[in-house]
Amino acid sequence: MTQPIIFAHGDAAHQDTLNQVMGTRANVIWWDETFDLMTLVQERQQPDCVIDFAPIVMGDLSKYDFLPDGTVLMLPVLELPLHSWKVTSQSLDKHLTLVGFNNWPGALANGTIEVSARNLADQTRAAEVFAKLEWSVGWVADQVGLVTPRVIAMVINEAYLTLQEGTASRADIDLSMRLGVNYPFGPFEWASRIGLDKVLTLLDSLWSYTHDPRYQASLLMRREVAFLA
């Protein structure tokens, strides 16, 4: 059986995660600003999957229009759902198989990867590729933030609101959540692993799409992100 090929773009944390997850099951080739995706496509055979952890321009599909027919293109949907990415032509819309995923550090290392698709045809084609990659995936609706990331972001936000009110310390909140509900990490530990700026970005995206007060980020979180910037 031919080894699957993945073209990927992301930072060092993304590279460590994907390389560790795939091991020798797939040939993972990374592109960056000096060795770009178009060069890879021109010099190599067709990839089974293209994963862009960090698109330079969110929401723009035009830079992928040279990908071969049938390529599974995985894009982050923690700021924009797939249906909000701009399609520049009907041909581009038809030949790309789009999959949304969580691009937070370490997310692809989970036992089951949470993903979304625009339609059943995309889901069916992507499922074939994921089977080749030996990935266990869970399909959810094409909505900003998917499911797990938005739940984690809300838990972290509630922890910041609790801290802001002076109810408990960071250490006590983390300990309570680990022992009380058996979370692998406390909310502040989770925020540190993910990156507080990424959590705030997701909450703001959820607020922008839903205007649900549950997603309004705490003032303390905003202050910390501004201080760390």
- Same-fold call for 5-140 versus 148-228: no
State the alpha helices, DSSP H only, in 54-195. Answer: 90-95, 120-133, 148-164, 170-180, 187-194
Q: How far is residue 191's CA from residue 130's CA, in Å, rounded to a whole number?
A: 29
pTM above 0.85, yes or no: yes
Which helix H or strand E contains 58, and what residues bound it? none
The values of phi and psi at residue 197, to 5°, are: -65, -35
Spell out the alpha helix ranges (H) of 23-67. Answer: 37-43
pLDDT truncated to tens, each residue of the chain (229 aa)? 588 999 999 999 999 999 999 988 999 999 998 888 988 888 877 899 999 999 988 998 888 888 888 899 999 999 999 999 887 665 555 678 999 999 998 899 888 999 999 999 999 999 999 999 999 999 999 999 999 999 999 999 999 999 999 999 999 999 999 998 888 899 999 999 999 999 999 999 999 999 999 999 999 999 999 998 7
CATH fold, domain 148-228, is: N-(1-d-carboxylethyl)-l-norvaline Dehydrogenase; domain 2 (1.10.1040)
Query: What's the DSSP call for residue 60?
Result: B
Residues 6+ apart with CB under 8 A from 49: 4, 5, 6, 7, 71, 72, 73, 74, 129, 133
Do 38 and 18 form a contact (C-beta atoms < 8 A)? no
Q: Where are the domains of the chain?
A: 5-140, 148-228
State the architecture of 5-140 in CATH terms.
Answer: 3-Layer(aba) Sandwich (3.40)
